[in-house]
Structure 1
Amino acid sequence: MAAGAGSLLAWVLRNKTHIELLQVLLSFTGAYLLSVTVTHLLPEVFEQGSGADVSFFILIGFFIQLLIVQFTRGIEHGHLHLHHHFSKGYVSGVYFGLSIHALLEGMPLAEGVMHVHDGQHIYYAILIHKLPEAFSLATILFFSVRNKMYAWLLLLLFALVTPAGALLSGWLSATDANHEIVWLMAIVCGTFIHISTTIIFESSGKAHKISWYKFLAIVLGVGFALMSFLL
């Protein structure tokens, strides 16, 4: 649903004058995702697994996301250069990288993998994160693929990747692969930490300054995440 909404938004706003809007939205989602990861996902993972193993796989997740960025070129961070020519190799790399990322982020969503309370907030964090992610991918596809029906088909397939990740982790949970589930969740934590911190730090630009709009978006993102302790 979120992937579809982001894709539709990209179709409606098909020009580079709206990149600032994307940056503000990314600032909010980055802050929210980081806060939910630190306050909900990490404590759950450390509770279920041993500290040494969990820490190791968090690092693995961080560097997996670093490798994924080599394919996506950071478009999930708002790096959209619409005046550039998009080669088939570039578009394929972006699609592949974002699909791997989408598969990983779907894994905490399976029933029984997370506690119900924590799972709800992880769901909201991923839902919000999918909007700018799908917006970025859809923008690339609409600018590079001549056949718009084919572009929409690719977006539909992309929207199914995150549910596929949830099904995969749900299947592992049903087979009592508890250690593997904890390791996968730790890897997901590492990818989320990389994504969220990169979004927040890069939103400041080369001058290391952020606009008041982006600062407010970051504060709101943290605030909404912390409100979960009151609900």
Structure 2
Amino acid sequence: MDTIVEFLVFVAVILIVSFVGAYLPMTTRATDKQMHLMIAFSTGVFLGILFLILFPEAVRESDAYGIDIMTVMYVALAGFLLMFTVDFLMKHYKKAECDCDDCLDHHSHSVTSLSAFFGLSIHAALDGLALATAFTLDASVGVVILLALSIHKAAEVFSLSSTFLLAGGRKRSMTYMTVFCLITPIAALVSYLLLGGAESNITGPAFAFSAGVFMFVTMLHMIPEAFHRKDIKISSLLLMLIGLLIILCVVILMGNSGL
């Protein structure tokens, strides 16, 4: 098979997996309890992405280009502070409709979903770059990489879709998820066609910035959201651990490549 055709098949698989994972939570009307359980699972996925993929990959990629660990941490801190500022401004200028608990809760969910969308979009673009780079450097292991990335992608988009559904508005969720599902394929094609899949010395700092964003979203939004219902805390903990375990399995499958 021609190389470009084979790569297009890989991109198509990622696109299909992304759309299936994104729209699966929208096929049924989940209760508030079920939605919070899905958020708990998503929290585990986000924790896995943060500590098992983003930070290790940021350090590894930066070290390959002689970028020291403190620079990586500074960039990660910048990502965290930027997300904190964006979150603060969103809460300050986008007030809840009233001060009742339901309106305040819905407003909090909306901010959480947008924060997650921003952080995951950066990571999705890096996924595209990583796929193109790996394919160019060693196409013979492309199938294994594609499988691992597909599992990772399915869990990622399922998690993000769940956060948007919790914020309310199925049509709004579909719009955001459609845009999100296109990010990785487009980034992969641009990287492959224009950059030839070559690695860049900005890849490490980009992963570090994304890690900072992820840390803010996970620690200050996802974890509190997953565990604020007292009646499902044990179930939430188990689902969070399952989500984390899935990402751990993906990392092991990929041989700690962090793609």
Q: Give the alignment's TM-score, normalised by structure 2.
A: 0.59
2:214 to 192, 210, 213: 192
Q: Deviations over 1:100-121 (max 9, x none)?
A: 4343111321235569899776
Deviation at 1:58, TM superposition (A): 1.5
- Please name the residue that 1:84 is paired with: 103
1:1-231 to 2 correspondences below 5 Å: 1-13=17-29, 15-37=31-53, 40-49=56-65, 50-51=67-68, 52-70=70-88, 83-84=102-103, 100-109=118-127, 110=129, 111-113=131-133, 124-138=151-165, 140=167, 142=169, 148=171, 152-153=174-175, 155-167=177-189, 173-174=195-196, 178-198=200-220, 201-202=223-224, 205=227, 211-227=233-249, 228-229=251-252
- Please name the residue that 2:5 is paired with: none
Deviation at 1:64, TM superposition (A): 2.9
Q: 1:205 to 1:55 in 2, by over 3 A?
A: same
Q: Aligned partner of 2:22: which letter?
A: G
Cα distance in 2 for residues equivalent to 1:82 and 1:4: 34
- Please name the residue that 2:8 is paired with: none
Deviation at 1:130, TM superposition (A): 1.9
Q: 1:62 to 1:154 in 2, by over 3 A?
A: closer
Cα distance in 1 for residues equivalent to 2:185 and 2:87: 22
Cα distance in 1 for residues equivalent to 2:36 and 2:197: 46
Cα distance in 2 for residues equivalent to 1:184 and 1:15: 37
Q: 1:206 to 1:222 in 2, by over 3 A?
A: closer
Deviation at 1:165, TM superposition (A): 4.4
Q: 1:217 to 1:94 in 2, by over 3 A?
A: closer
Q: Does the CA contact (< 8 Å) of 1:66 and 1:194 recur in 2?
A: yes
Deviation at 1:190, TM superposition (A): 1.9
Cα distance in 1 for residues equivalent to 2:116 and 2:163: 10
Q: 1:157 to 1:207 in 2, by over 3 A?
A: closer
Deviation at 1:38, TM superposition (A): 6.0
Q: 1:221 to 1:229 in 2, by over 3 A?
A: same
Identity %: 11
Q: Which runs of 5+ in 1 are unaligned?
A: 74-80
Cα distance in 2 for residues equivalent to 1:12 and 1:199: 24
Q: Give the alignment's TM-score, normalised by structure 1.
A: 0.64
Q: 1:70 to 1:62 in 2, by over 3 A?
A: same
Cα distance in 1 for residues equivalent to 2:113 and 2:221: 19
Q: Aligned partner of 1:134: which letter?
A: S
Deviation at 1:134, TM superposition (A): 1.7
Residue-pair matches, total: 216
Q: Does the CA contact (< 8 Å) of 1:68 and 1:98 recur in 2?
A: no
Q: Secondary structure at the match of 1:12?
A: coil
Q: Aligned partner of 2:23: which letter?
A: S
Deviation at 1:65, TM superposition (A): 2.9
Deviation at 1:205, TM superposition (A): 4.2
Q: Which structure's CA Rg is the greater one?
A: 2
Tell me how large the CA RMSD over aligned residues is: 4.5
